[in-house]
Chain A
Amino acid sequence: MRTRGVVAGLAVAAAAALVAPALSAYPLTLLTQAAIVAVLAMSLDVLLGYTGLASLGHAAYFGVAAYAVGILTTEYRRGFVVCLLVGVAAAALTAALFGLLAIRATGTYFLMITLALGMVVWGLAFRWVSLTKGDNGIAGVPRPDLPLPWNLGAPLPFFYFALTATVLAWALLGLLVRSPFGMTLLGVRESESRMRALGYNVWLHKYLAFVISGAFAGFAGVFWAYYNGFVSPIDVQLVTSVETLLMVALGGPGTLAGPALGATMIVFLKNFVSVYTKRWLLILGAVYIGVILFAPRGVLGAFRR
């Protein structure tokens, strides 16, 4: 089962890589977008699927990293490596701080605290104009300047770049959830009180999962900023958090590959259906309802039954 999943995942990534050169620029940018958002969805899955914590503030860590890249590249002309490190560190630090406040709560209360904390970051992005340029956002983030033989400004090399990052994130998260630490998280999800009785430090495990999840959301945020060339408060707002949560729910929480699939589907559904009808939100809504009715454990969850 495990190896089968890994093989399937790698096969999908390889197929995408093989198809890519044959695609025109626009579908390629959609695939790139899907690859990056997939990392965000997978990072949230660590919390939602494996630890049982539904966070409504995940865009915060994503956005903090994106802003770090935006500011470092446009104001200080820093290179990719610095931006990546600072971006992920900033996201992890934010998560470490917010985790202290949020982890004690469970269920709806956890949802509400993460929502509030997410709004704090949005407020900062919006109001701290001297740093974030407020509502106008930071434009003009250049593509990464790595000493590679390919020009990352072109759609195809950048897609491979993003895909590599996605596979890397998937592998790291896969190792994490299969490690003893990951097993403990599953235990916490199933029954906190039993895990506590067995002598596990439940709070610490949840806290670490929260920080790691935030760091990976930041990893996605770094690539997002480079992909769009632009960062704005919309990247950190509630809608982004909710959409991420829906991607995880759609794909199948607790499967890692599921949320990645969910992210891909939503990116394409949004951009494809909207070409044909202004009422595309209706269709998206119908899809959500369909999934909840017919596959409550998500698309991949349904396959794994």
Chain B
Amino acid sequence: MTSRCRALAAVLVLPVVAALAAPTAPAAQGGPIRIGFLAPLTGPFAQIGKDMVSGTELFLDEIGRQVAGRKLELIVEDTEGTPATALTKSRKLVEQDRVHLLTGGLLANVGYALQPFIDGAGIPTTYPVIAADDITQRKPARWIVRTGWTTSQPMHPFGDWVLKNTKYRKIATIGMDYAFGYETVGGFQRVFEEGGGQIVQKIWTPLNTNDFAPFIAQIKRDADAVLALFVGRLALQFVKQYEEAGLHGKLPLLGGGTTTDESVLPQMGDEALGTLTALHYSQALDTPQNVRFARAFEARAGKIPSYYGEATYTNMRWITEAIRAVGGKVEERAPLLAALRKVEIKDTARGPLSVDAHGNPVQNIYIRRVERVGGRLQNTVIATYPGVSQFWKDRAEDYLKQPLYGRDVPPCRSC
């Protein structure tokens, strides 16, 4: 064995020893309030993760990192966008850093994976972005409050709006082949078909699609419009290829909110113009609160806020409201959770917010059209559905009797 090997071994064993010896944060009262924040900071979702951190930090800076007379300390951990890592990091935040609150997370699978751990540990948690329907519907978690949205929440009013304000009655859908896609398309389909519309085709594309041409070629040309649901790179590519296929302007494009979200919109060109989507936020929302937030976010992050940035900003505001409501006594977890479930804010960047009995916000849903204003593309708000619940117009019990939206739920009767 050479000395070089010894040195190498020492370097490699060091982290093991150091991690084993790492101290656990004291549980003493009166110290700073510790908030654990999970976001994907490496891997394919790192850009969104950055937006999430920016929104959170922006709000914390605005309140001077202090609430109810106590300092706020944010501990950010990287989930790599994978459930197992998110779980390990949550354990670290809860067991070693002894955070008083847990928040963050992006993907549905992370949301579902953390649920049993969070309920087991009994740690007050908020999900600002994770939108999978069942987290506040058929598989609710006691300790999780959603400050964001459910996937189908904006799509119910969108179905209603399309029926009442357009002549589109036969719509073809194309979307990403996973739960987020199913719940988006399903929510739209349900309300649209109940009101007399027809979904005449449903196309699902694999998440790793590199070329949409074969899928676009399948779209029925006698449909009145196309509903598309894509995220990130795929949204950019789909909208571009939709235009290249000569369909832009001929077959009107509708979409789920992420299809033209501000995280991709600045990279789009004229091909996106006129696209109609629905979401609980738009950067172009013309309220004093949002104008102020959007300006501050842009100054800080160097880009316009996407819904991810707004979600985490408002999420942190929500959390501090709850902390204030319990007088800063975050060590008492049950009252803190109860306070998180009671928050009501009239003037967030996305509009008034309250929370329903299942832990999901009741909030405005905005119907948006992509327009070019002052040289930049934006999601202009053209209609507002105030105070929309995740259960649309149903009573919660009735709504929850329906199956979760899936690949073939609701079935495509008119295909």
Contact = CB atoms under 8 A, between A and B. Distances in A.
Q: Do A and B come from one complex?
A: yes
> Which of B9, B84, B132, B207 has the largest count of A CB atoms less than 10 A from its CB?
B84
B19 A24 contact: no
Interface in B99-127: 108-109, 112-113, 115-117, 120
A304 B12 CA distance: 17
Interface residues on B, range: 35 or more
Nearest to B17: A268
Interface of A is mostly: helix
Nearest to B93: A26
A303 B12 contact: no
B357 interface: no
Given A135-B108, A135-B178, A265-B12, A278 B42 contact: yes
Contacts of A290: 8, 11
A30 B15 CA distance: 12
A201 interface: no
B127 to A, nearest CB: 14
Contact of A265 (B13, B96, B117): B13
Interface in A262-280: 264-265, 268-275, 278, 280
A275 B75 CA distance: 9
B92 to A, nearest CB: 5
Given A136-B132, A278-B42, A30 B19 contact: yes
Interface in A125-148: 126-127, 129, 134-137, 139-140
Interface stretch (A40-48, A162-170, A213-221, A226-234): A226-234
Interface stretch (A50-58, A92-100, A101-109, A291-299): A291-299
A136 B179 contact: yes
B335 interface: no
A233 B15 CA distance: 29
Task: Identify which of B12, B108, B120, B132 gathers the most chain A CB atoms within 10 Å of its CB.
Answer: B12
Contacts of A234: 82-84, 109
Contact of A140 (B13, B24, B78, B116): B116
Nearest to A34: B16
B108 A303 contact: no
B9 A136 contact: no
B228 interface: no
Contacts of B220: none
A27 B22 contact: yes
Contacts, number: 131
Nearest to B406: A129
B1 interface: yes
B77 interface: yes
Nearest to B42: A281
A230 B116 contact: yes
B1 A139 contact: no
Contact of B95 (A24, A135, A287): A24
Given A135-B178, A299-B12, A268 B19 contact: yes
Interface in B242-277: none
B409 to A, nearest CB: 11
Given A295-B8, A302-B8, A303-B1, A19 B83 contact: no
B19 A228 contact: no
B41 interface: yes
B116 A29 contact: no
A137 B92 contact: no
Contact of B88 (A33, A139, A303): A33
A4 interface: no
A303 B87 contact: no
Given A24-B95, A229-B116, A303-B1, A271 B9 contact: no
A80 B3 CA distance: 46
B77 to A, nearest CB: 7
A136 B406 contact: no
B322 to A, nearest CB: 26
A272 B178 CA distance: 33
B113 A232 contact: yes
Contacts of B8: 290-291, 294-295, 299, 302
B91 interface: yes
A81 interface: no
Contacts of B108: 135-136
Contacts of B77: 274-275
A228 B95 contact: no
A234 B314 CA distance: 30
Given A230-B83, A291-B8, A19 B109 contact: no
B18 interface: yes
B41 A278 contact: yes
Contacts of A26: 22, 24, 91-92, 95-96
A25 interface: yes
Interface string B1-45: 110110011011101101110101000000000000000011000
Interface in B59-103: 77-78, 82-85, 87-89, 91-92, 95-96
A136 B112 CA distance: 7
Contacts of B113: 137, 139, 228-230, 232
Contact of B16 (A135, A268, A295): A268
A124 interface: no
Nearest to B132: A136
B109 A137 contact: yes
B109 A23 contact: no
Contact of B179 (A27, A31, A134, A228): A134
Contacts of B22: 26-27, 272
B1 A278 contact: no
29 contacts: A26-B91, A26-B92, A29-B88, A134-B179, A136-B109, A136-B132, A139-B113, A139-B115, A140-B115, A228-B87, A232-B84, A232-B109, A232-B113, A234-B83, A265-B15, A268-B19, A270-B85, A271-B88, A272-B18, A272-B22, A273-B15, A275-B77, A280-B42, A281-B42, A287-B11, A290-B8, A290-B11, A299-B12, A302-B2
Closest 6 CB pairs of A and B: A25-B95, A26-B96, A302-B5, A272-B19, A26-B95, A135-B178
Given A139-B115, A295-B5, 17 more contacts: A19-B20, A25-B95, A25-B96, A137-B109, A139-B112, A139-B116, A230-B87, A234-B109, A235-B84, A265-B15, A268-B19, A271-B89, A272-B15, A280-B78, A299-B8, A302-B8, A303-B1
